[in-house]
Amino acid sequence: MSRFTFSRALLWPAILLAGAAQAQQPPETHPGSEHRSIVLNYDRGSLPGDQVLWAERTLLGYSTDLALKYGLMHLTCASDTDSERGRCPVFDTGETGSARSQIPLRFTERRSGLRTEVELTGWLERAEAGRSCNSDYWQKAHRPLWTSVRIACADEASGTGVALSLPQRELEKLVAGRWDATLELFLRADPAGPVLATYTFTFDLTITDRDAMAIYFPEFDQVSPRVGLNIEYNPIGVPMIGGRANLDMCLYDGLGSQAEYFEVTLRDDRRSAPGRPPGMFSVWHHTGGTEDRHRLDYEVVMDHNGNRLPLHNDRVEILRGIDTARLRLVLLPGMTHPVYCVPTPLSLTTPPVPAAGKAEGYYQGDLHIEFTLPTAGP
């Protein structure tokens, strides 16, 4: 005989009732001067995002001792007209309402001296002594950085938090180069009182823009140059032909002109040219003839930093002294901000030859220019 045992258990749910997590009161904090260095290395093709100098609600000061007036704290600048160390009000503005602040700050490119203003964004928040008005101790309004205004409440404002950042959209204003800036802010609680702390932020940004590397021809903007050799006929004595043309050129390395050297190679269309002097370039008669009388030879000289540099056909030429070379401010095609490039104008000279030895007609040819950077760089 089989025997089955059936049992049943009664399960009583256990319910634990607990209050909502309690917001913590900000810790007692007293102001102290601070210096921070922000060092960044990046390429404009991969921006580093917003740079947070002070995270939201970073305490500048908090104390339930209302005599310290930490609920009135605000920040000021050294100048309200000059952005060299940050431009903002120099006194308490007493502004009401909720608002964020922008501080224009001047960045200077170390190599070229180019100056660009970027704007930092920040605000203040007031912390209270208790939770009568706000359950988390914090007033909800974002105040301008330079106002002592706070909300009247049963619990007095007893402290001040701050947020400050350099947005990525502002970093986009800076082109390739080595950029420096210094921001200086002064903390006050009493508009008529002393400075409680000084906050200094120094910026050292090394920016590259390798995808924007370019050979720039100012006279031709976005099209390939079409250059005449300016051949002239001289009938005096033995009739001769020859000429000279100039081609303005500027090299942009995307490194802020800080590369150790540039490599430049010029070559023509590599047709066979028996008897041509070494290193020279050629254009050819439009009929396509290959004889000497169907070819005009010319030489190319580059002006690099005040020095004349003869260039040889299909030979790599190394341009040194880039970090001390003269620069030119230009707006490259497709770019919204001006940059500095290294001027390298070219002279194309056709030495005089007897006119009787050359076929009459139109001559043409290609001149190819390659610009290369060293693999190591900023």
Which of residues 106 and 274 earns the better pLDDT score?
106
pLDDT digits (tens, 9 = 90+) for 233-257: 999 999 999 999 999 999 999 999 9
Which of residues 348 and 332 earns the better pLDDT score?
348
pLDDT number for residue 376: 57
d(CA 280, CA 297): 6
Query: pLDDT tier at 353 (50, 70, 90 boundaries)?
Result: very high
Query: pLDDT tier at 98 (50, 70, 90 boundaries)?
Result: confident
d(CA 338, CA 256): 12
d(CA 116, CA 216): 23
d(CA 377, CA 322): 12
**Average pLDDT, stretch 351-366?**
95
d(CA 31, CA 305): 53
**Is it the case that residue 177 has pLDDT exceeding 60?**
yes
pLDDT digits (tens, 9 = 90+) for 262-271: 999 999 988 8
**Is it the case that residue 18 has pLDDT exceeding 70?**
no
* 72 phi/psi in degrees, rounded to 5: -105, 5
Task: Identify whether the C-beta of residue 264 lies closer than 8 Å to the C-beta of residue 302.
Answer: yes
**For the chain, first and last CA: distance in Å?**
92
d(CA 48, CA 39): 12
**Average pLDDT, stretch 142-154?**
90
Name which of 334, 306, 366, 325 is nearest 214 in CA terms. Answer: 334
Query: pLDDT tier at 22 (50, 70, 90 boundaries)?
Result: low
**Average pLDDT, stretch 45-71?**
96
**Is it the case that residue 190 has pLDDT exceeding 90?**
no
Q: Cα separations (Å) of 143 from 32, 71, 101, 149?
A: 21, 12, 8, 8
**Average pLDDT, stretch 81-104?**
95
**Average pLDDT, stretch 347-364?**
96
Query: pLDDT tier at 192 (50, 70, 90 boundaries)?
Result: confident
- Residue 235 sits at the vertex; the CA angle it makes with 231 and 236, to the nearest 5 degrees, is 125
Query: pLDDT tier at 167 (50, 70, 90 boundaries)?
Result: very high
Q: Which residue has the tokens 């082109």?
A: 175
Residues facing residue 337 across a β-bridge: none
In Å, how far from its chain's centre is CA 195?
Answer: 34
Provide the pairing of β-strand 34-43 with 197-208. parallel
**Is it the case that residue 377 has pLDDT exceeding 70?**
no
Task: Identify whether the C-beta of residue 339 lies closer than 8 Å to the C-beta of residue 332.
Answer: yes
Residues 6+ apart with CB under 8 A from 141: 97, 98, 125, 126, 151
Name which of 287, 312, 304, 183 is nearest 251 in CA terms. Answer: 304
SS3 355: helix
| Structural domains for the chain | 34-208 (2.60.40.2520), 211-372 (2.60.40.2040)
- Looking at residue 293, what DSSP letter applies? G
pLDDT digits (tens, 9 = 90+) for 101-142: 999 999 999 999 999 999 999 999 999 988 888 888 999 889
**Average pLDDT, stretch 72-97?**
96
Task: Identify whether the C-beta of residue 111 lies closer than 8 Å to the C-beta of residue 256.
Answer: yes
Q: Which residue has the tokens 């290294």?
A: 342
SS3 71: helix
Q: What does the DSSP assignment read for 103-149?
A: EEEEEEETTT--EEEEEEEEEEEEEESSSSS-TTSB-SPPBPTT---
SS3 324: helix
- Written in H, E and C, the secondary structure of 42-73 is EECCCCCCCEEEEEEEEEEEECCCHHHCHHHC
**Is it the case that residue 44 has pLDDT exceeding 80?**
yes
d(CA 329, CA 248): 14
Token digits of residue 347: 């002279």
- Residue 375 sits at the vertex; the CA angle it makes with 267 and 212, to the nearest 5 degrees, is 70
